[in-house]
Structure 1
Amino acid sequence: MTRHFPPLNLDAVACRTVIVEGARCWRKARDTGQAVQPSLYQMFVFHDCEMLAPVFDSLMSLCENALGRQVVVGSAVALSEDETMLLGLLDGSMQRCTCIDCMNETAASLDCAISSTQIMIGTPTYPSNMVQ
């Protein structure tokens, strides 16, 4: 059985908000031992984009794996460098190969996760993100 989800109808500000809130929710769930995808689902439901929960969980896990450390999130007053990088990777203004140096296999997995997330949030996928 398949289920159709309408495309997200988020403007640029709402999209950035969803990404940052998603990263912070993911980090909090991981740090506190909560189930990650249900936590993300509950947060994303507020923005009517709950189908992002598994995609975002995968993206964040692969990003952390590629970085070789925990993703750092910011505060109510400032974005972290990792959040800024994540926004840039998803809006196409940053290329993964210039901001995360990792093994080719890890890079390929992260590139796929970035592209999948871009597709789900309606951002164009740029081939320059891909491993050469």
Structure 2
Amino acid sequence: MKGDPMNPTTPMPATHSPATLYILLDAVRCWAAARRRRRPAMAQLHLRLRRYGCEQLSPALDSLLRLGEQVTGHGLRTGRGPRLSEDENLLIDLLQARWTGPVPYACSDAIACAFCYAVRSTQILLAQALEGRRGAASLSIRDANPRHC
């Protein structure tokens, strides 16, 4: 057997840079706005992440957010501007491996387990797509338009 999924060999992510957190938050809010407007959320997410050169995160982030809604039993709640919602804070804490307690869930154990794997997959992809390209022009937040979605 190649590796234990509960004890991965990939190191846990370090604290993400402010630019990475901004990109993540921008993408999450775009996804949530698309869902509220009954637009194709993954397509909107892909377009938003393409601005930063990390559209490959779209499927993983879409899956994580959809599973997150099933886990919490409600639609993703977002904040405005610099003010973060509880859901956004939880997501950031999970992705930075800062969450110390169990995640309360209102779903089956199988969905909760899938959510845990989605968190880990997204951590790895964030590290590969964003943190590895810290100095790249694609990480610029100057072109972000929060009213786009």
TM-score interval (norm. to shorter): 0.7 to 0.9
Corresponding position: 1:58 with 2:63: yes
Q: Distance in 2 between matches of 1:13 and 1:99?
A: 25
Measured after TM superposition, the shift of residue 71 of structure 1 is: 1.2
TM-score for the superposition, normalised by structure 2: 0.70
Partner of 1:128: none
Tell me, what secondary structure is at the counterpart of 2:55? coil
Q: Distance in 1 between matches of 2:21 and 2:91?
A: 10
Large movers: runs of 4+ above 6 Å? none
- What percent of counterpart residues are identical? 29
Give CA deviations for 1:40-63 in whole Å, capped at 9, x if unaligned: 011101111111111111000000
TM-score for the superposition, normalised by structure 1: 0.79
Measured after TM superposition, the shift of residue 21 of structure 1 is: 1.0
Q: Give the residue type in structure 2 aligned to 1:15.
A: T
Any gaps of 5 or more consecutive residues in structure 2?
Answer: 1-15, 129-149
Q: Give the residue type in structure 2 aligned to 1:60.
A: L
Corresponding position: 1:114 with 2:111: no
Residues 20-35 of structure 1: matches in 2 within 5 Å? 20-35=25-40
Q: Distance in 2 between matches of 1:99 and 1:110?
A: 10
- Structure number with the bigger relative contact order (C-alpha 8 A, sep ≥ 6) is 2
Tell me, what secondary structure is at the counterpart of 1:98? coil
Corresponding position: 1:13 with 2:18: yes
Higher helix share: 1
Any gaps of 5 or more consecutive residues in structure 1?
Answer: 1-10, 124-132
Backbone CA RMSD of aligned residues: 1.6
Give CA deviations for 1:74-118 in whole Å, capped at 9, x if unaligned: 0013011110110000000015x6232343211101001101101
- May I ask how many residue pairs the two structures share in their alignment? 112
Q: Give the residue type in structure 2 aligned to 1:41.
A: H
